Structure 1
């Protein structure tokens, strides 16, 4: 196996060395592609030193040296990969020693397009633990049971009830399988672009369950995470999820082969989050309308908003 690991780097000078070295422990890691995204800290200088130290590291920036977000950075990384398999890692996360144990076996089957496992949580400070433990606890980000590849995307959009999720840190894709995708990461989404592409990957590709009962990578939780700032209540999480489901709705409507029940479910999920961010009077009007026309979907959507704040 020749695995290319793509790491978008933004404001991660404290963590990027750990991320890189966690990937270098595997002989299958053929190259590590760092995309430095105009960090406000000294991350670029740290990346330059790492590139000088390790031959496997390739360092890039966007052509205008500007900040374009994690999605655009991962897209640039995908343009640069030369390995046979693609894995992802956030700059403040790291791989565990069992990261590719399942992949070594499963990818022997040419019908396997991708393998996913479980992602755990690492709190980088007591302050981060105190602030975010009520949200993330010590749970795993994973699909909670082995699932047929044909059904994975249905679970990810909550059409099959409680299912879990796939984190990019724990996903490995066969490079040739990416040709089935009409586009890569949606760059208009500053948050949840990873969740959006994982749904589409699961629709087009045959993704198999790897190690899902224990973590194969750890997600670093600290005060400066982009996503934790949303989930901690500083931003209404429903607002960012409206954008996510809006993009999924556009994809479902325009992509040939998406079943009608899937299109309808995605539209319903979008409506429920739109209700969540609507101002008071308008909100009750929207709820009244959908109670009459679409009661079950609204009930499901409100359940997800109120009790499952970690929906991808």
Structure 2
């Protein structure tokens, strides 16, 4: 049986992570290690994880070293460095695995035809299961880097099991506050060229609660816009050397859209001069000038959408 490494960042989730670890211990596939990296919790996480690691030695508990950046992404990268498995699975400290998750996801990877497998989650809100509808295209479209990065197919952080050799030097971007799975999986799948296999089965529950990232993003429009803009800009930057042209244009188009919405809200647009340089490189002078005009109009009059639309890359 191949060793599967499950990597979990956590911060002040002592009231939830016990259920997560119990769901991992209950897996029908038994050859796994679970690496939990604490981001500096000040609740009773340490005591709880010491109990679980004593109870089951397959569970390893680490504190994020102080010289590393704070945040879940740094914890994920540190956990990957500590892991030994032939296969890697990322999970979150507030979510739950169904018993067959690892077994169902590792089986189709044994033939080496696919580099990763993707399952589904349902949302668990106040104890009630709610169906996640984002997977509808996964049944009839190929799971690859182009379709994922252009959001034609979907999976969440907790859905993928991937062969370790595909990861190489790909790491989570530690500057991003949200959307890290899009950035990471775009880099991983676009650079590796491998296809994945879709398992049309709910194998996890994502618990949505007041202090989850999803809830925070929904309640803070300015942060949402800034994070979305930074996500597409940085992903373009990191995928620039190996992504197909249409994928790069898709990322730039989204960077344009969210920068325009930031301008409408009178917010500063990060990396703006660099964005202009990339637009000029990819789109040419005329469309770049149209984009600049749309941003100027947005700041000064609250208008400019038609100029923005005209500055977009060709229809994708």
Q: TM-score range by the shorter chain?
A: 0.7 to 0.9
Deviations 1:43-96 (A, max 9, x none): 222112211211111111122287711110000000011111111110000101
- Count of aligned pairs: 279
2:247 to 232, 256, 262: 262
> RMSD in angstroms over aligned alpha carbons?
2.5
In the TM superposition, residue 173 of structure 1 has moved relative to its aligned partner by 0.9
Aligned to 1:116: 118
Contact preservation (8 Å) 2:114, 2:197: no
Match of 2:181 in 1: 194
Report the Cα distance in structure 1 between the residues aligned to 2:155 and 2:163, rounded to whole angstroms. 16
Q: What secondary structure does 1:44 align onto?
A: helix
Query: What pairs up with 1:123-162 in 2 under 5 angstroms?
Result: 123-124=125-126, 137-142=130-135, 144-149=138-143, 152-158=144-150
**SS in structure 2 opposite 1:230?**
helix
* Contact preservation (8 Å) 1:242, 1:270: yes
What TM-score do you get using the length of structure 2 for normalisation? 0.80
The alpha carbon displacement at 1:279 in A equals: 2.8
Give 1:249 shift.
1.6
The match for 2:307 is 289
Counterparts of 1:204 and 1:25, CA distance in 2: 34
Which runs of no fewer than 5 residues in structure 2 stay unpaired?
266-296
Partner of residue 210 from structure 1, selected from 188, 192, 198? 198
Task: Provide the C-alpha distance between the structure 2 equivalents of 1:66 and 1:11, rounded to a whole number of angstroms.
Answer: 18
Supply the distance in 2 between the matched residues of 1:174 and 1:265 (Cα, whole angstroms). Answer: 27
CA offset digits 1:140-187 (Å, max 9, x no partner): 4535324334xx32222337xxx34111211001112212xx431000
Aligned equivalents of 1:105, 1:42: Cα separation in 2: 37
- Give the distance between the partners of 1:66 and 1:203, measured in 2 at CA: 27
Unaligned runs of 5+ in 1: 301-312
Task: Measure the CA separation in 1 of the matches of 2:131 and 2:140.
Answer: 21
Aligned partners of 2:155, 2:257: CA distance in 1, in Å?
Answer: 23
**Residue 67 to residue 47, structure 1, CA distance change in 2 (3 Å):** farther
Which has the bigger relative contact order, CA under 8 A and spacing at least 6? 1
Q: Distance in 1 between matches of 2:54 and 2:17?
A: 14
Distance in 2, matches of 1:156 and 1:271, equals 20
Q: Distance in 1 between matches of 2:91 and 2:313?
A: 40
1:84–1:174 contact (8 Å) kept in structure 2: yes
> Does residue 213 of structure 2 align to residue 248 of structure 1?
no
